């Protein structure tokens, strides 16, 4: 068998280890070698460190972690004894699973619907497709297909009708946009991946909110970026018991702007990655004044602002009459904002339609670069998304937001009843509740959930440094009945 | 404006420069600084070096290219004078386009069909969609959609019906395959990109055929892999004039197996990337015995064999009664072959459906990794591909192969008439003719073509080291009428 082992470098493993916080031991302090072994085992069983990954030599890892070589050697020996590490003289050591162990599972990686069986998936924050609108739009798209089928079907920047529909939607939201500022991507993650490949190099610093979207944090980590976390202040969930927490007012302070200014000035990061609209995982909405201040600080530091608007249309808690803050790019006078958007949450994840909004020159560069990854996004899904973003959009939005709102309220009613010491704050929108678990380990809850057939996303996956151990993210995109069952069981 | 410049490292620029062969000067030798300036300008105008890329400092580039610092300084000065380089003290130099220059164009990057206007695109080797089958399959897929629309639509490994259809097709081709060996990807390029990210690290050597598929070569280069070219022997186009060249017999020697053994033994590359079935760009078909010998040499060297089967179904020159060589993986007794396949050529590029066939454990690892790029491939296109790979496949194949065969024969008839000294050999299949241009520079032809509204893919794009300057690739996937017009004009 050929050598399929990926080598994990010492800094990469150190970064992963920082995200693997173990449940506190009930009794005395745990020795360092056991902590290290336990963390590596956790990373393997959660699927965050792949099976077959070659680990660094003991001496190198000891140096990277500032531990003694004996500590690392003992940790490796422990893992070998438990079947989580295989070694061969001259070839090093690589991760493994002991015989009979269940395959690695990652609560944040989607379980395909057809494979879910009896698992209740509270890991993925997503909605079912809005029917009957999706079916109708798909049928209309098929009618348009003959026009496109005479060509080779490659649209590196996107099919014109979708670029126009996305540009029009931005214009409606208060941000005049032309189609040449839009690059259609394969999901928002496809857009983030492209932007990251083109704009962010190995070793570049990226300032991120703490907490932030787990997959972006991990993607940045894996690409060699160095994350600089900037906490929210005050954390929305800390303020008061759930039953007393009123909905958030966007103009109340959310970002800790003093800390943002300090980080941007001090670290001069290549980029600041933010989710200003119904943030994942907290659902927070940032007001215009705070957006302006962050933009000014980023401009002074020469940092790109990477605004993730995946959840921007999900304001289910904002009254119709209340104007939403304008998109970050609308407040940007120096073309430093790159926006990533998505049809995956409001329309359907199965379409895999996202986009990047940027200066036309950057759109062209990204389009060139993607020839070496996905080449383009499928044509038919672009036609469907364009259909849905036009006439049916208000009805689709109402349908999807009603579902998110109903589930959030069902959780909000059930949580204080079943788990009175857990804390959360009702967000103004978004896909989840961000719940503080009264000191219970989110990782331990996730492990217990796995045994009970419930996938739970542990809070520390949303931190850049293992923070948020005592939190979980509770997605509100599933059907309400499922939501109730989960609450009763959790 | 924030800093959007990508830094091009000296080794990366050196690799790019090796692919930028200039037309020979008519008169005396060109001084080194002019060659360097001309090469950088060519890379910029062809879109291979992005506008806004920060070039290495003069001293670093001089050292990487083994040139004097004065030579590099003079080249940069020349480029500045022509408007292709901007510099600012303390910020370095970055590429630019002079005012009024046309935007960079890359003959190998698809021109979106709607933007083609009057350009005749001979850069992209692709077929229009097979109608009416595509439309019918799309309509049937829409009928299945409600079943899928109740879930979140994320299928990291692919929708089961397509994984089954692809596995069945492999089994039909003589390679028993189960669905858990199949990962559906966003085009074959999406599969190559994933495999490369997971299996091939920076600095790893990858042995490649010379010539080979231009985009894979460039993707490998950009990811930091070191290419080791292994030439064909004898080059199919050299043997005899076009009118005398009979169709290729797969059992005649194609790969230079002595050279493959030497390279695999000497360089022990991480992977060997080959296109054994109707190779891009030459159309060559490799017989089973040669496949076995390369596999044995790769096994001895511990190299993965990455078999690109994008063109495997395109054997338009092979009589129905002749059995095709079995896929590489069918001859592999040590699980060292990773296969990438595609529906993009036989069915339609606009579906963006490709796949990886590999051991189930590797399929799972790739599925995990893609959560940080495209997450999954759109559902509807997978359903359409599954429909087309089932009942309609024989009719679709006949339709598409008829088109490729007709265009190839039209070219073969027209070329000797209009360009009697150009040489090519009729391939047994594939998407193009690989034409030797009697000493004419392919790059110069491409530039002349650009002025005349014809995009031509210069041969050196298919070499790993600037070889094949005196070749062009002539795609045969377009309509026959267009093919004739191009030949008359070229």
A contacts of B123 (beta carbons < 8 Å): none
B-chain residues within 8 Å CB-CB of A300?
none
Give yes or no for B102 touching A (CB within 8 A). no
Question: What residues in A contact B154, CB-CB < 8 Å?
Answer: 110, 112-113, 124, 126, 349-350
Q: For testing the chain A interface, which of B49, B101, B154, B381 should be mutated: the one with the most A CBs within 10 Å?
A: B154
**H/E run at residue A306:** strand A304-308
Q: What is the mean pLDDT of residues A360-388?
A: 93
Q: Decide if A109 touches B, using CB distance below 8 A.
A: yes
pLDDT value of residue B243: 44
- Interfacial B residues in 412-451 facing A (CB < 8 Å): none
- Nearest alpha-carbon partner for A308 in A252, A265, A354: A354
Neighbour-count burial for A135-157, b at 16+ CB within 10 Å, e otherwise: bebbbebbebbeebbebbbbbbb
SS3 at position A277: strand
Gap between the Cα atoms of B242 and B461, Å rounded = 23
Helices within B284-420 (DSSP H only): 288-301, 360-369, 379-389, 393-418
pLDDT at A242: 42
A134: confidence class by pLDDT, cuts 50, 70, 90: very high
**pLDDT at position B431, please?**
93
List every span in chain B annotated with CATH 3.90.1150.10: 113-131+395-489
* Contacts of range A324-328, beta carbons closer than 8 Å, 24 or more positions apart: A324/A173, A324/A277, A324/A285, A325/A250, A325/A276, A325/A277, A325/A285, A325/A286, A325/A287, A325/A288, A325/A291, A326/A173, A326/A174, A326/A175, A326/A288, A327/A170, A327/A173, A327/A174, A327/A175, A327/A277, A328/A274, A328/A276, A328/A291, A328/A295
User: Which positions ≥6 away from B86 have C-beta within 8 Å?
Assistant: B80, B93, B94, B95, B96
pLDDT value of residue B158: 95
Confidence at residue B117, expressed as pLDDT on a 0 to 100 scale? 61
Between B365 and B102, the more confident residue is B365
To the nearest whole Å, the CA of B85 is away from the closest chain A CA by 16
Query: In the numeric block, which tokens belong to residue A357?
Result: 């909004």
Q: What is the pLDDT of residues A331-344, one digit of tens each?
A: 998 889 999 999 99
Query: What distance in Å separates the CA atoms of residue A271 and residue B114, rounded to the nearest whole number?
Result: 34
Task: Please check whether residue B364 touches A, CB under 8 A.
Answer: yes
Rounded CA-CA distance A234/A452 in Å is 34
Q: Choose the mutation target among B101, B350, B353 for the interface with A, i.e. most A CBs under 10 Å.
A: B350
State both tokens at A61.
């890892």
Q: Please give the class, per CATH, of domain A138-392.
A: alpha beta
Residue B227 confidence (pLDDT): 92
- Predicted pLDDT of residue B482: 33
Whether A368 and B129 lie within 8 Å, measured CB to CB: no
Q: How far apart are CA A284 and CA A249, in angstroms?
A: 9
Within chain A, all domains assigned CATH 1.10.10.10 are found at 4-95
B490 touches chain A (CB under 8 A): no
Tens digits of per-residue pLDDT, A232-268? 865 554 444 444 445 566 667 789 999 999 999 999 9
Q: What was the pLDDT predicted at A241?
A: 45
Q: Which of A92, A74, A91 is nearest to A38 (CA)?
A: A74
User: Which of A4, A47, A351 faces B368 most closely, judged by CB atoms?
Assistant: A47
- Predicted confidence at residue B447, as pLDDT, reads 78
Closest CA to B460 of B45, B37, B107, B82: B107
pLDDT above 60 for B241: no
Section B49-55 average pLDDT: 79
Mutate to test the interface with A, among B5, B113, B345 (most CBs of A within 10 A): B113
The tens digit of pLDDT for each residue in B248-297 reads 666 677 899 999 999 999 999 999 999 999 999 999 999 999 999 999 99
Running DSSP on this structure, what letter comes out for residue A427?
-
Minimal CA separation from B441 to chain A, in Å:
25
- Report CB contact under 8 Å: B51, A365: yes
The pTM of this model reads 0.83
Q: Do A153 and B198 touch (CB under 8 A)?
A: no
* Residue A310 touches partner B, C-beta closer than 8 Å: no
Identify the CA nearest to B201 among candidates B181, B225, B179.
Answer: B225
Q: How many CB atoms lie within 10 A of CB A132?
A: 11
pLDDT band at B116, cuts 50/70/90? Answer: low
Using one digit for the tens of pLDDT, what is the confidence trace for B406-418? 999 999 899 888 9
- Please tell me the predicted confidence (pLDDT) of residue B441: 84
The torsion angles phi and psi of B48, rounded to 5 degrees, stand at: -90, -25
Q: How far apart are CA A437 and CA A471, in angstroms?
A: 5
Percent with pLDDT over 90 in chain A: 56
Structure ipTM: 0.83
pLDDT band at A43 (very low <50, low <70, confident <90, very high): confident
When pLDDT is cut at 50, 70 and 90, the band that residue B485 belongs to is very low
Residue A81 to residue A89: CA distance in whole angstroms: 17
Any idea which fold A113-131+395-489 has? 3.90.1150
Q: What number does CATH give the domain B4-95? A: 1.10.10.10
Token pair of B418 as six digits: 């209009």
pLDDT number for residue B5:
57
- At B487 the pLDDT is 32
Peptide bond into A281 cis (omega under 30): yes
- Residue B481 — pLDDT band, cuts 50, 70, 90? very low
* Closest CA relative to residue A21, chosen from A474, A446, A436: A446
| Cα of A434 to nearest chain B Cα, Å | 20
Query: Stretch A43-59: mean pLDDT, rounded?
Result: 81
Mapped onto helix, strand or coil, the DSSP state of residue B120 is strand
- Chain A residue with Cα closest to B127: A152
Beta strand extents in A155-270 (DSSP E only) = 182-186, 205-210, 226-231
Give the C-alpha distances (Å, rounded to integers) separating B13 from A59, B61, B62.
Answer: 35, 8, 11
**Who among B124, B304, B350 is closest to A379 (CB)?**
B350
Q: Do B135 and A155 touch (CB under 8 A)?
A: no
Tokens 């595509």 belong to: B134
Interchain CB distance below 8 Å, B304 and A2: yes
A92: which strand partners?
A88
Which chain B residues are within 8 Å of A303, Cβ to Cβ?
Answer: 2
Mean pLDDT of B139-166: 94
The region of weakest confidence among A113-122, A296-305, B372-381 is A113-122
| Average pLDDT score, chain B | 86
Rounded Cα distance between B180 and B358, Å, is 9
Whether B321 and chain A come into contact, CB under 8 Å, resolves to no
Each residue's pLDDT tens digit, B5-28: 567 788 878 888 887 777 666 566
When pLDDT is cut at 50, 70 and 90, the band that residue B208 belongs to is: very high
- pLDDT on residue B249: 66
How distant, in Å, are the alpha carbons of B143, B165, B173, B220 from that of B162? 16, 5, 17, 28
Mean pLDDT of B213-232: 90
**Interchain contact, A384 vs B379, CB within 8 Å:** no
Residue whose entry in the numeric block shows the structure tokens 């995109």 = A477
Q: In this predicted structure, what is the pLDDT of residue B189?
A: 96
A15 touches chain B (CB under 8 A): no
B187 touches chain A (CB under 8 A): yes
């Amino acid at each position: 068998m050929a050598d399929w082992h990926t080598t994990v470098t010492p800094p990469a493993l150190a970064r992963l280890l920082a995200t693997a916080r173990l449940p506190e031991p009930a009794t005395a302090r745990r020795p360092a070698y056991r902590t290290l072994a336990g963390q590596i085992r956790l990373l393997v069983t959660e699927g965050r460190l792949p099976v077959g990954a070659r680990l660094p030599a003991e001496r190198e890892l000891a140096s990277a972690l500032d531990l003694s070589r004996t500590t690392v050697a003992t940790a490796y020996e422990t893992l070998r004894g438990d079947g989580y590490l295989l070694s061969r003289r001259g070839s090093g050591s690589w991760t493994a699973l002991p015989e009979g162990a269940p395959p690695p599972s990652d609560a944040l990686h989607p379980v395909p619907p057809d494979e879910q069986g009896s698992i209740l998936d509270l890991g993925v924050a997503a909605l079912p497709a809005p029917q009957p609108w999706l079916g109708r739009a798909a049928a209309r798209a098929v009618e348009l297909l003959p026009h496109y089928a005479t060509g080779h079907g490659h649209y590196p920047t996107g099919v014109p009708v979708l670029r126009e529909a996305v540009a029009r939607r931005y214009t409606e939201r208060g941000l005049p946009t032309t189609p040449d500022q839009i690059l259609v991507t394969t999901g928002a993650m496809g857009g983030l991946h492209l932007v990251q490949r083109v704009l962010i190099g190995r070793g570049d610093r990226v300032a991120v909110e703490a907490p932030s979207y787990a997959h972006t944090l991990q993607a940045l980590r894996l690409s060699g970026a160095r994350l600089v976390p900037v906490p929210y202040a005050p954390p929305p969930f800390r303020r008061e018991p759930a039953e007393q927490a009123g909905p958030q007012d966007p103009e109340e302070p959310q970002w800790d702007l003093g800390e943002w200014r300090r980080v941007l000035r001090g670290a001069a990061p290549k980029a600041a990655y933010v989710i200003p609209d119904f943030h994942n995982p907290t659902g927070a909405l940032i007001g215009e004044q705070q957006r302006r201040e962050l933009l000014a600080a980023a401009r002074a530091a020469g940092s790109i602002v990477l605004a993730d608007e995946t959840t921007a249309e999900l304001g289910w808690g904002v009254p119709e009459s209340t104007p939403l803050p304008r998109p970050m790019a609308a407040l940007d006078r120096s073309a430093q904002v790159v926006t990533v958007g998505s049809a995956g949450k409001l329309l359907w994840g199965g379409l895999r339609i996202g986009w990047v909004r940027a200066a036309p020159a950057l759109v062209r560069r990204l389009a060139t670069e993607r020839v070496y990854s996905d080449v383009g996004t499928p044509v038919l899904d672009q036609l469907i998304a364009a259909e849905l973003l036009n006439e049916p959009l208000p009805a689709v939005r109402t349908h999807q937001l009603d579902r998110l709102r109903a589930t959030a309220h069902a959780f909000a009613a059930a949580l204080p009843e079943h788990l009175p010491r857990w804390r959360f704050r009702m967000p103004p929108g978004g896909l989840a509740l961000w719940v503080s678990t009264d000191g219970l380990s989110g990782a331990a809850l996730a492990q217990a959930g796995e045994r009970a057939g419930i996938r739970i996303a542990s809070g520390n996956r949303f931190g850049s440094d293992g923070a948020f151990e005592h939190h979980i993210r509770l997605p509100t995109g599933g059907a309400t009945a499922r939501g109730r069952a989960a609450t009763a069981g959790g």
